[in-house]
Amino acid sequence: MIRRAVPDDAMAMGQVLSDWIDATRWMPRLHTRAEDTGFCAHLIETAEVWTAQTSDGLGFLARKGAEIDALYLAEGLRGQGWGTKLMETAKEGRARLELWTFQANAAAIRFYEACGFHEVKRTDGAGNDENLPDCRMRWERATS
């Protein structure tokens, strides 16, 4: 089930984010787990955040206007269509969406391309906190 996030979701969202960081060898850990939870609480306060939760875990997507700020899924939800459902929810009523993802995150790039996004820019990472090369991706609703 997809639903809007509430403040009580911040801890579970922070866990998903922290677990992904810890499991991703190329991703530096810049913040504590408590700071990740605080970041998620801030997202709930300042963005539109949707969650998908099953007995296999939680996933979430945060959108501010046309910008996707975060999309993370617990390992148990990956490959089961929950990311696509969250993205479809984020696309509702939008003509365009954009996001940044790391170039090293090939699985995310494939996922976004499958959702209709295309790459519009690459950087050397000098503009992000992690200093990792990234790419800008855009989705635009087809006009009839």
104 class by beta-carbon count within 10 Å (0-12 exposed, 13-18 middle, 19+ buried): middle
Q: Is pLDDT at 144 greater than 80 in this prediction?
A: no
Structure tokens of 16? 């998903």
Residue 99 sits in a domain whose CATH number is: 3.40.630.30
pLDDT per position as a tens digit, 11-29: 999 999 999 999 999 999 9
Q: Is pLDDT at 134 greater than 80 in this prediction?
A: yes
Q: Is pLDDT at 142 greater than 90 in this prediction?
A: no
Q: Which domain holds residue 45?
A: 2-140
Q: Is pLDDT at 114 greater than 80 in this prediction?
A: yes
pLDDT per position as a tens digit, 54-78: 999 999 999 999 999 999 999 999 9
Q: How many domains does the structure of the chain reveal?
A: 1
The arithmetic mean of pLDDT across residues 116-125, rounded, is 97
Percent of the chain residues past pLDDT 90, beyond the cut: 97
Q: Where are the alpha helices (DSSP H) in the chain?
A: 10-23, 33-46, 82-91, 106-114
